[in-house]
Amino acid sequence: MCKTLFPIAALLSATLCWAQPNRFVIDDDEYLDKITAASAKLLHHGKLESLDSLRNQVRTKGVSLKPAPVSREKLAPADLCDRLRESTLAVGSYYKCPDCGEWHFNSSAGFVVAEGGVICTCCHVVLVEDEGVKESYLVAADANGRVFPIKSVLAADTESDTCFLKVDAPALKPLPLRAGIRAGERVYCLSHPGGYHFMFTEGMVARVNLRRDDMLDEHGQTNGLLTRPLLFLNVTAEFAPGSSGAPIVDEAGNVVAQVSSIADAGEPDAGDENTLPSPSVPVRFCLAAEEILRLTDSRLEEKKLVSETKAKSKGAHQPGAKPPTSDHPPKNAQAN
């Protein structure tokens, strides 16, 4: 009897020791309920800024701030995921649904970029409007479901589609920005694809490239203009609509890029009753840290834009190629 119990006791003891580190478990429904309840309370107390007010602040401008120092210590993937979760937020609109009349939260992503409550996300997270929505507010939430009102737009670059927002949460821990990453380096992403919050993926930098992208107007729509050449990374770490603004980091937790958009490589054949459709390959574009760092220059201001005709004559798009589609999902994609 004792001989039988000893191995079992030893196994239980070993299992308990193995399970000691805290394991983060997300319940997406519960997480959204926390955010909507906290946002409702903030709105009741008049602490939320309307999205219309914040949209009016999105124009190219810089701000003087000091990013966190670059980290040199590589982390194991599980520890890196825990570290990213401290600084990655769900950033999105708390809005009144025109169909059901209820209030919902629709998340993209962002990350803390400097002390004092400064977060970084994509401009289109702020700018994109959805037909029928009359009342909406921008909020950010951490992994515990704590909601922070977004107070203002501190800096933005409408060409590269990135911005700094000020939140009422001075104790948030920033991630460093690192320039100069090369193709072949390992990278990781923590984001909220399709409303599946805090999804951690791994890959590598597949390519570093310059491209001219479609410009967005003040309503988040393309306006027939193309940007200056922007520095992007193509990565194999997976993300999907709902991940806009998320950090792409190296093994030490330095932000090397920000999730921007997704394109399909090639023109997939739709197929017919006799043939299967041809597969397409998603190409994931991430804005390089060099472009984000431009926002820390207080002298940054709007420049004269390049016309679409002029930009195309310089080879902005290859003949027959599909430009990247916006990674921002419809407003009600995660609301139901």
| pLDDT score for 332 | 31
Tell me how many domains the chain contains: 1
What tens digit of pLDDT does each residue of 151-208 get?
999 999 999 999 999 998 888 999 999 999 999 999 999 999 999 999 999 999 999 9
**Contact of 97 with 300, CB cutoff 8 Å:** no
In degrees, rounded to 5, the angle at the alpha carbon of residue 60 between the alpha carbons of residues 57 and 66 is 95
* Residue 316 pLDDT > 50: no
Q: Could you give the CA distance from residue 104 to residue 246 in angstroms, rounded to a whole number?
A: 21
Instruction: Identify the domain containing residue 175 by its residue range.
Output: 28-269+277-326
In degrees, rounded to 5, the angle at the alpha carbon of residue 273 between the alpha carbons of residues 268 and 278 is 20
* Residue 28 pLDDT > 90: yes
How many residues make up the chain in this entry? 336
Tell me what percent of the chain is helix, strand and coil, each rounded to the nearest 5.
Answer: 20, 35, 45
Residue 191 lies in a domain: yes
**Count of CB atoms situated within 10 Å of the CB of 38:** 18
What tens digit of pLDDT does each residue of 146-164 get?
999 999 999 999 999 999 9
Residue 127 lies in a domain: yes
**Contact of 63 with 295, CB cutoff 8 Å:** yes
* Residue 309 pLDDT > 50: no
Average pLDDT over residues 292-304: 84
Residue 1 lies in a domain: no
Residue 253 lies in a domain: yes
Which amino acid type is present at position 79? Answer: D
Task: Tell me the CATH number at 86.
Answer: 2.40.10.120
Distance (Å) of CA 153 to CA 40, 148, 187: 22, 14, 28
Average pLDDT over residues 86-92: 98
Q: Could you give the CA distance from residue 33 to residue 145 in angstroms, rounded to a whole number?
A: 9
Residue 14 lies in a domain: no
Residue 5 lies in a domain: no
Average pLDDT over residues 207-226: 82
DSSP 311-334: HHHTTSS-TTPPPPEE-PPPTTTT
Which helix (H) or strand (E) is 81 found in, with range?
Answer: helix 77-87
Q: Predicted confidence band at 129 (pLDDT cuts at 50, 70, 90)? A: confident
Which amino acid type is present at position 27? Answer: D
* Residue 38 pLDDT > 70: yes
Give this prediction's pTM. 0.82
Exposure of 54 by Cβ count < 10 A (0-12 exposed, 13-18 middle, 19+ buried)?
A: buried
Residue 85 lies in a domain: yes
Residue 9 lies in a domain: no
